Amino acid sequence: MSTTVAALSPLLLSRLQFAWVIAWHILLPAFTIGSASFIALLEGLYLASGRDVYFRLSNFWIRIFAIAFGMGVVSGIVMPFQIGTNWSRYADATANVLSPLFGYEGITAFFLESAFLGVLLFGRKLVPRWAHFVSALMVALGTLFSSFWILAANSWMQTPSGYVVIDGRFFPSDWLRIIFNPSFPYRFAHTVVGFYVTTGFVVIGVAAYYLRRGRFVEESRVMLSMTLWLLTVLVPLQIVLGDQHGLNTLAYQPAKVAAMEGDWDTQSRMPLVLFAIPDEANATNRDAIEIPDLGSLILTHDPNGVVRGLKNWPRDQWPPVAIPFFAFRIMVSIGLLMWHSLPRAGGSERAIGCMPSGSCASANSRRQPDSSRSSPAGPRPRSDDSRGRSMACCALLIPSHRR
């Protein structure tokens, strides 16, 4: 027991504490950034079409957004204090660069959000429709500004540029190079698209929940149709952006890539390690499952490409291996699972329209949903034609222009 406690150095404990807080915090901005854009889209569609379904959906998601936004702010306040206490010397040395970036977030994102969030939450009956739509747009823009500045700061920590070091302190020499540092464009695109994908699957889950219970069918159908079309584009795009971000990381932080991939020796025709148990003490992988040459193909886009292993650097410069190695595989597995879960065939929307109730013909012929709960607008007429109900179920997600 004493050996285990001794192994928990202040550095490791600081990392664990920060990882614990940011792991919970990032879930909230990931959802609020995506949901803010979704609400702005719903408000725009309501303004343009006048359809009440967009009005009801926007009100529903605004309530959820408000709670998540508040929790995100509260959990985020802790993190600057952690930077100052756990890494005080680093915070002091980089203050001239990082402090303005965090300050710009407050000046642009927080001020914009605080100015229009009240209108979005409480101004539905007090302002015209167009003004409420503008408030939704401004809140969504504010969340993206927040992402911009935070990811600019985070990317500078990874690939610093545009600075000079004087007496051990970092001073800005070129703000454009600081903000648009080498990894920022890839990290920003990859992260924001990830936020939208996350929100999209939350919306799908809510819509599926209500569809299975025969409640708010019209609203659920609209949510599913909008979100599935969006995810059909964004999930493959996220994979492409992840590949480009990986190539950028290989160029600027090759040791990090070596740790994530579990590569110890520098070689061409590097295999892709699907699974292994990294052994840092002996610089090897145990019980490895590998695909020959695929590592070089993915990392260099050339099956004969040379990939550097961790032994290329002194051991005291190695990053931790086990945590990024397994975390990276979990991330990739989730991404592939999301991609596989999306409709692949041309008629997939019809199939997904049937999924919430299982078999359209069988489920709907056995059970008629409670029509009084099918929409917030009130009860709808019942129909005794089971075949008609089955056809309606199958047509849930068919876009209006195809009916």
* pLDDT tens, position by position, 344-388: 533 444 444 444 333 333 333 333 344 334 444 433 433 334 334
Evaluate if residue 227 carries a pLDDT over 60. yes
What confidence score (pLDDT) does residue 81 get?
84
Burial pattern 11-40, b for ≥16 Cβ within 10 A else e, equals eeeeeeebeebeeebbebbbbbbbbbbbbb
Q: Which residue has the higher pLDDT, 15 or 222?
A: 222
How large is the average pLDDT for residues 156-180?
96
**Model's pTM, two decimal places?**
0.81
What confidence score (pLDDT) does residue 343 get?
62
Q: State pLDDT tens for residues 48-78.
A: 999 999 999 999 999 999 999 988 888 888 8
How large is the average pLDDT for residues 21-47?
92
CB 371 within 8 A of CB 380: yes
- Residue 267 tokens, joined: 């070689």
Query: CA dist 7 to 1, 20, 322, 326, 357, Å?
Result: 10, 19, 16, 21, 53
Separation between Cα atoms, residue 221 and residue 233, nearest integer Å: 19
How large is the average pLDDT for residues 314-337?
90
How large is the average pLDDT for residues 333-337?
87
Evaluate if residue 47 carries a pLDDT over 90. yes
What confidence score (pLDDT) does residue 62 get?
95
Separation between Cα atoms, residue 162 and residue 171, nearest integer Å: 9
What confidence score (pLDDT) does residue 22 get?
87
Evaluate if residue 393 carries a pLDDT over 50. no
Q: Which residue has the higher pLDDT, 396 or 241?
A: 241
Q: Which of 31-40, 60-69, 122-131, 336-345 has the lowest mean pLDDT?
A: 336-345
How large is the average pLDDT for residues 251-266?
93
